[in-house]
Amino acid sequence: MMKSSRARSIFSVIAIISFLISVYICWTLTAKTTEHSSLHTTLVITAVSSFNIAILSGWIGFGMMGGSLITACASLFVLLLGFRMGCYGHNVLILTYFVTAWIGYLFTNSKNRLDQLYVLRSERVEEEINILANEVKEKNKGIKVFEEKLMRYSTLKNVAESLSAALSLDGISDLIVDKTRKILGKSGRILLFLVNPDAQELMLSSSSARNYPVIKTKKGDVFDNWALRNRKPLMIEDVAKDFRFPANSIDKAADVFRSLIEVPLVSENKVIGVLRMDSQQEFAYTQDDLRLLDIIANLGAVAIQNSVLYSRTQELAIRDGLTGLKVRRFFMESFHREVKRASRKREQLSFLILDIDHFKDYNDKYGHASGDLILKFIAKTISDQLEGPDVASRYGGEELALLLWKKSKKEARLKADKIRQLVKKRPLTLRKHEANVTVSIGVSTFPEDGATEEELIRAADLRLYRAKAAGRDRVCSD
C-alpha cells in the first residue's frame, strides 16, 4: 500500500506538470501564430499529446474526481483556444481526451477493484496471522503446561523410590507430606491422617502447616471423615459456597481455609488414611492437582502398608506367637546389653524366672489347649506389670522370664510376689471346670548375685528349684 500511494503521488505531480506545460506551450504558440499559420498542426499535436498525458496521469494520480476535473479543464481550454484562433475544425480532437479519460476511468476502476481485493486479502491474511499467532500462543502455553506436568510426573518416580526405601511409619508419613508440597508446588497446608485400627478413627500422622493456626482437630474434621466414609476424592473450590456440609462446619472451616483437595489412602480395599491439602485462597487447586494428590496417596498407601507388614514381620521375629512375649533369643540379647549397661553405670538389674506349677497335670487333664490358655493368661498378667524398658520372655516350655530394669532385690521380690498373687487370685475355667493356677518364681539381682547373665540365670534357676522344693506357689530370692 505504501508503494501504491507513492506511485499515485508521482502521477499526480506528472498530471499537474503536464497540464501546466500544455497550457503554457499552447498559449505561447497561439500568441505567435495566425489562422493560416503553419504552426496550426504543431499546436494541435502539442495540445492533444500534452493534455492527453495530463488527463491520463490525472486519472491515475487523482482518481475519478481529479481525472474528470483535468479532462474538463483540458477540453474547455482547447475550445477557448480554438475560439481565439478562429479554428473550429480541430475541436473534434477533443474526443481523444474523452477516449483517454475513458481509458483512465477503466484503469482507475480496475485499480480500485485491485486495491479493494488487496485490502480484503490483506485483512484475511492479517486475520489468519492473528489466528495462527493465537494458536501458537495457545500451543506454547500448552507445551509449558505439558512440560510442568511431565516434570511433576517424572518426580513421582523419585517419590516411589524414596517411599519404597523408607520403612518406619513416621518417616514415610513425613516423606509423603514433603513430596506432596514439592510436586504440587502450591502454597497451603498439608495434613496426613492415618486410621487407628483399634478405634477405627483418624489420627494426625504428619503435617506441614506454615502460617496456619495450631491444628486442633487431631482426629480430622467433617471433610476428612467424608473422604474416609465415602472413599472418594474431595475438591472444594470455595468452602464458603459449598453446601454439601453442615453450615456450622462451613463457618468454622472458612476461618482457616477457603479451598481444599483431599483423597483417601486405600490399601487392600481398606481406607487406611486420608491425604489433604488446603489453602487460604479460593480456587487454589485444579483437577490436575487432585489427580496428582491421588497418585501420591496411592504410592503412600503402598509404602504405609509395606511398613506395617515390615513391623509385623519384625514383631514375629522377636515375639512368641502364643504369648506375645519376646522370644528367648531376643531376650538374651537384651539381657546381655542390660548387664553391660548396669555394670558401666553401676546400677542394679534383677532377673526373674517363673515356672507354672503342675503344668503337665493341666495338659494331661484338660488338654494342650488348656495349657495354651494358662500360658496366655499368665503372659498377660506379666505384661500388665512391666514398666518402661522391662522385658518379658517365654523362656522355654512353661517357663517365663522377666528382666527388671533398675530394680533392687527387694523391689524385684515385691514385683514377683505381686505377679504370683495376681495369678493365684483369678481362677481359670478349663473345660467348664474352675482351676486355680499357681506359679513359683526365682529371683536374682546384679551385681550381688552375679556379674554376668550366665551367673544371674544360674542363681535364679537355683532359687526357682528351692521354691518348688519348698511346696511351690512362692517366691525365692535368697
Whole-number pLDDT of residue 25 = 67
Model confidence at 457, pLDDT cuts 50, 70, 90, reads very high
Q: Does domain 166-315 have CATH number 3.40.50.2300?
A: no
Burial class for 5, CB neighbours closer than 10 Å (0-12, 13-18, 19+):
exposed
Model confidence at 36, pLDDT cuts 50, 70, 90, reads very low
d(CA 235, CA 309) in angstroms, rounded, equals 32
Query: For the segment 136-170, what is each residue's pLDDT rounded down to a tens digit?
Result: 888 877 777 666 666 666 666 677 777 776 778 88
Model confidence at 348, pLDDT cuts 50, 70, 90, reads very high
Whole-number pLDDT of residue 87 = 60
Query: For the segment 302-336, what is each residue's pLDDT rounded down to a tens digit?
Result: 888 888 877 777 767 788 888 889 989 889 989 99
Whole-number pLDDT of residue 41 = 61
Query: For the segment 234-251, what is each residue's pLDDT rounded down to a tens digit?
Result: 999 998 888 888 888 888
Model confidence at 226, pLDDT cuts 50, 70, 90, reads very high
Model confidence at 93, pLDDT cuts 50, 70, 90, reads low
Whole-number pLDDT of residue 340 = 92
Cell of 81: 483556444
Pairwise pLDDT comparison (54 vs 179), residue with the higher score: 179
Cell of 356: 507354672
% the chain with pLDDT above 70: 86
The yes-or-no verdict on residue 40 having pLDDT over 70 is: no
Query: For the segment 402-426, what is each residue's pLDDT rounded down to a tens digit?
Result: 999 999 999 999 999 999 999 999 8
Cell 544371674, located at residue: 456
What are the residue numbers of the active site? 398
Whether the model pTM is above 0.85: no
Q: Are 279 and 259 in contact (CB under 8 A)?
A: yes
Provide the strand spans (E) within 232-359.
Answer: 234-236, 259-267, 270-279, 349-356
Pairwise pLDDT comparison (388 vs 443), residue with the higher score: 443
* CATH-assigned architecture of domain 328-476: 2-Layer Sandwich (3.30)
> What is the Cα 247 distance to its own chain's centre?
29
Burial class for 177, CB neighbours closer than 10 Å (0-12, 13-18, 19+):
buried
